[in-house]
A and B are shown apart, each in its own frame.
Chain A
Amino acid sequence: EAQVTQNPRYLITVTGKKLTVTCSQNMNHEYMSWYRQDPGLGLRQIYYSMNVEVTDKGDVPEGYKVSRKEKRNFPLILESPSPNQTSLYFCASSLGGRAFRQYFGPGTRLTVT
């Protein structure tokens, strides 16, 4: 089944403890992206990747890192999480180019205390 998977789905952690949220897609998509969703602010892009080894900042990249070493994986790294990074995170992918549909993962709910 074509899908975008994220792990973990739920995570509660403490301030400053490094964490990684994994994202994987099995559709051979070129483009991958991370969004966060917050009440009243909607979905905002954190980082995106046009292809392997090519990443760029979105609207809210502060406090996050990403890497794209393989086409199928695009992990989101929080080196030193803070409470304002408590949010619902979504990974998305698409074939790339201008016209293609974006597919979203199931989401990761992160709480930083």
Chain B
Amino acid sequence: KQEVTQIPAALSVPEGENLVLNCSFTDSAIYNLQWFRQDPGKGLTSLLLIQSSQREQTSGRLNASLDKSSGRSTLYIAASQPGDSATYLCAPRFQGAQKLVFGQGTRLTINP
């Protein structure tokens, strides 16, 4: 069964810290992997998309890496700000599947 695990489930850090969110998936045969941000009760905002042939993608203070062979992706957030507080979801698209498979997310709180 294709599953996605995100660790930690929740994280609380002071403003300004650099932090890493982890995502692992059970099947290395993926087309791509997306990282999303979700604010409470709101929709999903796509942050980064990494294709299976890529190692990393960057957008501003965000950097996502992909190690397909080990079934892992990490989201690195530099110089965290209170506005970064949200739940972060990773979602690979496994080969042969017409859907994204989501992890349970990491709930991030940045304290001023």
Contacts and interface: CB of A to CB of B under 8 A. Distances in A.
Residue among A48, A56, A102 with max Cβ neighbours from chain B (10 Å): A102
A32 to B, nearest CB: 11
B42 A104 contact: no
A43 interface: yes
B46 A98 contact: no
A20 to B, nearest CB: 19
Contact of A103 (B46, B51, B95): B46
Contacts, number: 50
Interface stretch (A11-19, A62-70, A78-86, A105-113): A105-113
Contacts of A33: 98-99
A101 B42 contact: no
Interface residues on A, range: 20 to 34
For the residues of A in contact with B, the DSSP-based class is strand
B100 A102 contact: yes
B98 A50 contact: yes
A107 B34 contact: no
A90 B99 contact: no
Given A33-B99, A48-B98, A90-B44, A98 B49 contact: no
27 contacts: A31-B98, A33-B99, A40-B104, A42-B103, A42-B105, A43-B89, A43-B102, A45-B99, A48-B98, A58-B99, A88-B41, A90-B43, A98-B32, A98-B95, A99-B31, A99-B32, A101-B46, A101-B49, A102-B34, A104-B36, A104-B44, A105-B43, A106-B42, A106-B43, A107-B41, A107-B42, A109-B41
